[in-house]
Structure 1
Amino acid sequence: MSLNKVGPANAHRLQVSLKGGHHNARGTPTDYKNFYLNIKLYIGDQDSQLVVDKFQARADHLPDFTFNYNIVDGELRALFWADETAKINYQAVGDVLAFDATYHMNKYNMIFVPFTGVDSHKRCVMFGAGLLYNETIESYCCLLDCFIKPMGNIQC
């Protein structure tokens, strides 16, 4: 429920409602609060490293998965990823590329940048995606370089 921004007290209340009463729900509101705090203590300032580790595991197990990142002083400043399907989409219908940097994430205030195109059926297809810490020229240049390298032959 924390993924949906439901706090521990409300999460307990919802569990009691869903389970049909306090006698069917496990734990007390205090148990829920303690569990939430334990998770936050475990993650601490390592949340960017958890993301990088998750992407590294994908790169190790999925063929042709690419990701690049930049961490400065323990903060994730830039991240780009593209999987095999995205690369195939780009090779097939990558004549026109669009990227939209108007999506801001709530918790970290990073900018989500999807790289998209349109296929022959006029449907949007993904070519890759990225996260940016700020909207500077250097950030965009870094992200575009990360996009160009795995996509192969690109003509401007």
Structure 2
Amino acid sequence: KKHVTNYAATINRDITNSDMMEVVQMFNKKQAENPGFCYSFELDGENKVRSLFWTDVRSRMMYDICGDCISFDTTFLTNRYNLAFAPFVGISPHGNTYLF
């Protein structure tokens, strides 16, 4: 049991502060697979992520079709970074919702 706990602590120490690099790698891979995928992020003065945005072709297509009514809700917070999660959601004339 102690060996497993020590191993888990080693893994956590190795991956600490590498999560943004993993996100950028994943986004670059998605962009290579699908040129319509795009992302952008901003850093603050301490080189920490201030904001992150991504979208794909399907989301932009649905925005063109159902972008007349958009919900922008910033009430969700993550526990680890205390950043707001603010999805752009469109509502079709038939009442269906689409994530942009």
What TM-score results when the alignment is normalised by the length of structure 1?
0.58
Alpha-carbon offset, residue 37 of structure 1: 1.1
- State the distance in 2 between where 1:48 and 1:37 align: 20
Tell whether the 8 Å contact from 1:48 to 1:75 is kept in structure 2 after alignment.
no
- State the distance in 2 between where 1:39 and 1:52 align: 20
Q: 2:55 aligns with which of 82, 100, 112?
A: 82
Tell whether the 8 Å contact from 1:104 to 1:112 is kept in structure 2 after alignment.
yes
- The percentage of aligned residue pairs carrying the same residue is 29
Gapped runs of 5+ residues in structure 2? none
- State the distance in 2 between where 1:123 and 1:31 align: 51
Matched, 1:100 2:73: yes
What are the Cα deviations for residues 4-48 of structure 1, in whole angstroms up to 9, with x where unaligned? xxxxxxxxxxxxxxxxxxxxxxxxx22321232122121122222
Cα separation, partners in 2 of 1:123 and 1:30, compared to 1, 3 Å: same
Partner of 2:19: 47
Gapped runs of 5+ residues in structure 1? 1-28, 128-156
What are the Cα deviations for residues 92-143 of structure 1, in whole angstroms up to 9, with x where unaligned? 111122200000001111100000011233111111xxxxxxxxxxxxxxxx
Q: 1:70 aligns with which of 30, 34, 42?
A: 42
What are the Cα deviations for residues 132-155 of structure 1, in whole angstroms up to 9, with x where unaligned? xxxxxxxxxxxxxxxxxxxxxxxx
Higher helix share: 1
What TM-score results when the alignment is normalised by the length of structure 2?
0.87
Partner of 2:82: 109
How many correspondences in the alignment? 99
Tell whether the 8 Å contact from 1:102 to 1:112 is kept in structure 2 after alignment.
yes
Alpha-carbon offset, residue 54 of structure 1: 1.6
Tell whether the 8 Å contact from 1:67 to 1:79 is kept in structure 2 after alignment.
yes
Cα separation, partners in 2 of 1:38 and 1:74, compared to 1, 3 Å: farther
Partner of 2:64: 91
CA RMSD of aligned residues (A): 1.5
